[in-house]
Amino acid sequence: MTDVADSSSIRRLSEWDAAELRTLTEEYGSPLYVLDLERVRQNYRRLVAAFPDADVLYAVKANALGDVLSTLREAGAGLECASAGEVKRALEAGASGSEIHYTAVNPPAGDLDWIVDAWGDHPALTVTAGSADTIDRLADRGYDGRLCLRVNPGIGAGHHEKVRTGAAAKFGVPAERAVDVLEDAADRGFDVVGIHAHVGSGVSSDQLDAHREFVARMGDLARDVAGAVGDLEFVDVGGGFGVPYREDEEPLVLESVADAIRDALGAVDARLTIEPGRYVVADAGVLLTEVNTVKDARETTVVGVDAGMTTLIRPAMYDAYHPIRNLAADAAASSGEGGRETVPQTVAGPICESGDVFCADRELPVSERGDILAIGNAGAYGYEMANQYNSRPRPASVVRGDGDVRLARRRETVADVTRPEREARRISAADRKTDDPRASDSDNDLVR
What is the DSSP annotation of 301-366?
EEEEES--TTT--HHHHH-----EEE--TTTTTTTSTTSPPEEEEEEE-SSSSTT-EEEEEEEEEP
- Say if strands 372-375 and 324-326 run parallel, antiparallel, or are unpaired: antiparallel
Q: Please state, in angstroms and rounded to a whole number, the distance separating the CA atoms of residues 314 and 392.
A: 17
**Using an 8 Å Cβ cutoff, are 323 and 364 in contact?**
no
C-alpha torsion sign, points 103, 104, 110, 113: positive
How many other C-beta atoms lie within 10 A of the C-beta of residue 26?
Answer: 10
Domains and CATH numbers, the chain: 96-276 (3.20.20.10), 414-447 (no CATH)
Which amino acid is residue 292, in one-letter code? Answer: N
Q: Please state, in angstroms and rounded to a whole number, the distance separating the CA atoms of residues 170 and 165.
A: 8
| DSSP E strand stretches across 39-115 | 54-59, 78-81, 100-103
| DSSP E strand stretches across 256-307 | 271-274, 285-296, 301-305
At residue 64, the pLDDT reads 98
Residue of 279, 310, 358, 315 whose CA lies nearest to 62: 279
The answer to whether 403 is a known ligand-binding residue is: no
Q: Please state, in angstroms and rounded to a whole number, the distance separating the CA atoms of residues 165 and 197.
A: 9
User: Mean pLDDT across the stretch 231-245?
Assistant: 89
Which amino acid is residue 335, in one-letter code? Answer: S
Lowest mean per-residue pLDDT among 65-69, 157-161, 380-384: 157-161
3-class secondary structure, 238: coil
- Tell me: pLDDT of 161 over 60: no
At residue 448, the pLDDT reads 32
Tens-place pLDDT, residues 417-447: 999 999 999 998 888 776 554 444 443 443 3
Q: Which residues pair with 342 in a beta bridge?
A: 365
At residue 172, the pLDDT reads 84
- Tell me: pLDDT of 114 over 70: yes
The answer to whether 213 is a known ligand-binding residue is: no
At residue 94, the pLDDT reads 95
At residue 210, the pLDDT reads 74
- Tell me: pLDDT of 108 over 50: yes
> Burial level of 217, CB count in 10 A (0-12/13-18/19+)?
buried
Q: Please state, in angstroms and rounded to a whole number, the distance separating the CA atoms of residues 132 and 190.
A: 13
User: Mean pLDDT across the stretch 138-162?
Assistant: 78
User: Mean pLDDT across the stretch 194-202?
Assistant: 76
At residue 88, the pLDDT reads 98
Query: Which residues, other chains included, contact 368 with Cβ-Cβ below 8 Å and sequence gap of 6+?
Result: 291, 294, 328
The answer to whether 275 is a known ligand-binding residue is: yes
Choose between 333 and 88: higher pLDDT: 88
At residue 337, the pLDDT reads 56
The answer to whether 338 is a known ligand-binding residue is: no
Angle at 270 between CA 269 and CA 273, to 5 degrees: 155
The answer to whether 276 is a known ligand-binding residue is: yes
User: Mean pLDDT across the stretch 370-391?
Assistant: 97
- Tell me: pLDDT of 335 over 60: no
Q: Please state, in angstroms and rounded to a whole number, the distance separating the CA atoms of residues 340 and 140.
A: 66
pTM over 0.85: yes
Query: Which residues, other chains included, contact 62 with Cβ-Cβ below 8 Å and sequence gap of 6+?
Result: 277, 278, 280, 281, 282, 379, 380, 381, 384
At residue 168, the pLDDT reads 60
User: Mean pLDDT across the stretch 41-48?
Assistant: 96
Q: Which H or E run contains 195?
A: strand 191-196
Residue of 145, 222, 153, 221 whose CA lies nearest to 185: 145
State the pLDDT confidence band at 403, using cuts at 50, 70 and 90: confident
The answer to whether 353 is a known ligand-binding residue is: yes
Mean pLDDT of all residues belonging to the chain = 89
At residue 275, the pLDDT reads 94
At residue 333, the pLDDT reads 55
**Using an 8 Å Cβ cutoff, are 50 and 259 in contact?**
no
Q: Please state, in angstroms and rounded to a whole number, the distance separating the CA atoms of residues 113 and 116.
A: 5
Residues tagged active-site? 352
Query: Which residues, other chains included, contact 66 with Cβ-Cβ below 8 Å and sequence gap of 6+?
Result: 89, 92, 93, 408
The answer to whether 350 is a known ligand-binding residue is: no
User: Mean pLDDT across the stretch 184-213?
Assistant: 80
The answer to whether 382 is a known ligand-binding residue is: no
User: Mean pLDDT across the stretch 161-173?
Assistant: 57
At residue 209, the pLDDT reads 73
Lowest mean per-residue pLDDT among 116-130, 191-205, 250-264, 391-405: 191-205
The answer to whether 420 is a known ligand-binding residue is: no
Lowest mean per-residue pLDDT among 20-24, 149-153, 382-386: 149-153
